[in-house]
Structure 1
Amino acid sequence: MARLLALDFGKVRTGIAVTDELQLIASGLTTVLTDELLDFLKSYLKEEKVDAFVVGLPKQMDNTPSESEELIQGFLKKLVKQFPAIPIERQDERFTSKMAVQSMVASGMKKKKRQDKALVDEISATLILQAYLNRF
């Protein structure tokens, strides 16, 4: 088996998480600037096999798409073009940023570190990926 790679796509930064090769455990990988994301993925995929991308699906409380979904759709077209053999799955990402901050508080992380938005994005990607894994 190969890894699953999750993206918490954002306008400025994108959090990235991956599974182990058995696809049991989600772990934060990094956060990259969104305009450098495709280059990062090209480089990563030269070193690691990925079975699927899991991309966060932002929704409003009434289940309608969030305004950021339009940006994500544009990115997904580029992702499919760049990596046509790798399927893309979507995972509801409601509350992941809030849960990421709560997990940082619960772990005793200092306030200064909790304000690191890149770390919040990476943890959010991990939560998206773990939620996806829990579906099966």
Structure 2
Amino acid sequence: MARLLSIDFGKKRTGIAVTDEFQIIASGLTTVETHNLMPFLKDYFAKEKVETVIVGDPKRLNNEPSEVVPLIEQFLEKFRKEFPDIIVKKVDERFTSKIAFQSMIDSGLKKKQRQNKALIDEIAATIILQDYLNQK
């Protein structure tokens, strides 16, 4: 089987998580600067087989799209042209950053570590992917 990969897209940084080949466990992979996302994905897809990419769809509490949605749509347009064989699914990502931050507190990370926004993005991507697996 191929892996699933999730993206917590942000204006500055993008968190990335992947599953194992059996699509059972979601694990944080890394956080990359968003302007380096496509080169990173090209390199990763050359090394690993990925069947589906799950992209967080940020919405406000009133169900309106957040301000980053147009950037996500631009990215997805380029992504689909570059990787037409990879399935793309969007999932609601409301509260994932808050859940990620709370999980950092619950796991006992020190305040300095909890200020690492890149780690929060990576954990948020992992939560998005785990939620997707749980619904599947």
Q: Would you say same fold, with TM above 0.5?
A: yes
Give the match for residue 50 of structure 2.
50
Give the match for residue 65 of structure 2.
65
Give the match for residue 94 of structure 1.
94
Runs of 4+ in structure 1 deviating by more than 6 angstroms, as ranges, are: none
- Residue 65 of structure 1 deviates from its aligned partner by 1.1
Q: Counterparts of 1:79 and 1:29 in 2: how far apart (Å)?
A: 19
Give the match for residue 81 of structure 2.
81
Give the match for residue 30 of structure 2.
30
Q: How many pairs align? A: 136
Q: Counterparts of 2:79 and 2:135 in 1: how far apart (Å)?
A: 24
Q: Counterparts of 2:97 and 2:65 in 1: how far apart (Å)?
A: 17
Amino acid paired to 2:85: A
Amino acid paired to 1:103: S
**In structure 2, the residue corresponding to 1:7 is in which secondary structure?**
strand
Q: Counterparts of 1:80 and 1:38 in 2: how far apart (Å)?
A: 11
**In structure 1, the residue corresponding to 2:85 is in which secondary structure?**
coil
Q: Counterparts of 1:34 and 1:59 in 2: how far apart (Å)?
A: 19
- Residue 3 of structure 1 deviates from its aligned partner by 0.2
Q: CA RMSD in A?
A: 0.6
Output aligned runs, 1:3-18, within 5 Å: 3-18=3-18
- Structure 1, residues 46-76: CA drift from partner, whole Å, max 9, x if none? 1100011000000111112111111100110
Structure 1 residue runs without a partner (length 5+) = none
Q: Counterparts of 1:101 and 1:64 in 2: how far apart (Å)?
A: 23
| Percent identity between the two aligned chains | 62
TM-score where L is the length of structure 2: 0.98
Amino acid paired to 1:100: A
Structure 2 residue runs without a partner (length 5+) = none
TM-score where L is the length of structure 1: 0.98
